[in-house]
Amino acid sequence: MSDDAPKQLAVVVLNYKTPGLVLDCLASLRAEIEGNDAYEVIVVDNCSGDGSDAQIEEAINAQGWQDWARLVRSPVNGGFAAGNNIGIRATDAETIILLNSDTIVRSGAIAELMNTLNENAQLDMLSPMLEWPDGLHQISTFRYRTPITELISASKLGTIGRMLPKHLVARELREYTEGIDWVSFACVAIRRRVFDRVGLLDERYFMYFEDMAYCRNATKRGFTIGYQPGAHVVHLRGGSSPVKEQTIQRKRRPAYFYAARAHYFKSFYGFPGYLAANLFWLLGWILGSLRGRSGAVAGEYRDIWCSGKHTMSKEGAS
């Protein structure tokens, strides 16, 4: 391969104070990447400020991974979208895989994704099967979130979901599928041509909703999203962000989650749609509370109205 030829693949891994997770992720990528001059891995340190950038760089050199992995430092923590954009700008690769730091790539997963893309020219984005360490399947394929989905999610009443099946966000798939609304960006392969037309990730999303929004903008322009369950990637959900654990424990979510939610609904449904989403959420919350089934976390009935820019907490994110 010529030194001037673009890479075939770049894997972008974002770090924010998770050096142990990043190094485990890199170790799982070694057999997938090492020895292929057309592949590279870019670790973006999102201004961690805790020395983890140096720790990762030292480990890359100590392990002899420097031929295929390199570290890029961001001067600020702009969030998930901004950090990944730095990695995307840092490569000329024809295909880019965005990969969370809290992932372990199973043997052959990268080859399976790349083979699927090579064999299906009509595919523009592709997601693997995400799973737990024990192999249990995680749902990572979805329908778009709409104002009505807020009624379902806030109520946690199965009867409402069965009445409105087209507004159920989770879409559990077990077979190869094309034409999906959106997929989790914990791991997703995206062809360069998508970025050329759609642009980079929207940095107004600090964290959360940016993957759904990006997929929506891509499909609106005619790009096709697929799911390849033959590629397996372990996702240690919550390892790179506290939000999922806060949700499970019904603790209050950070402001950036609700700011992202508001930006999403306003972007795709306008202010009336954002208002409708909140009113549907409140109705669902009331109905669910009456049945003891509400899916709300602490303070959510107030926080859904948060639509301004957030202020980073000391814990941060991404």
pTM, whole model, 2 decimals?
0.91
pLDDT of residue 310: 47
CATH homologous superfamily of 9-144+181-241 equals Spore Coat Polysaccharide Biosynthesis Protein SpsA; Chain A (3.90.550.10)
Rounded to whole angstroms, what are the CA distances from 81 to 46, 121, 200, 261?
Answer: 11, 26, 8, 14
- Within the chain, residue ranges assigned H as helices are 19-33, 52-62, 80-89, 109-119, 147-155, 158-163, 192-198, 210-220, 243-248, 255-290, 300-303
Query: Rounded CA gap, 76 and 82, in Å?
Result: 9
Q: What is the mean pLDDT of residues 114-128?
A: 98
Q: In the chain, pLDDT over 90 holds for what percent of residues?
A: 79
pLDDT tens digits, residue range 226-261? 999 999 999 998 655 555 555 555 677 888 999 999
Asked if residue 22 has pLDDT above 70, the reply is yes
pLDDT of residue 311: 42
At residue 161 the predicted structure's pLDDT band, cuts being 50, 70 and 90, is confident
Helix axes 210-220, 255-290, angle to 10 degrees: 90
pLDDT tens digits, residue range 252-279? 788 899 999 999 999 999 999 999 999 9
Q: In the chain, pLDDT over 70 holds for what percent of residues?
A: 91
Asked if residue 157 has pLDDT above 90, the reply is no
10 Å CB burial of residue 11 (0-12, 13-18, 19+) is buried
Q: Is the dihedral of CA 91, 96, 98, 99 positive or negative?
A: negative
**Which residues in the chain are classed under CATH 3.90.550.10?**
9-144+181-241
pLDDT tens digits, residue range 30-47? 999 999 999 999 999 999
pLDDT of residue 298: 76
Q: What is the mean pLDDT of residues 60-78?
A: 96
Asked if residue 59 has pLDDT above 70, the reply is yes
Q: Mean pLDDT, the chain, as a whole number?
A: 91
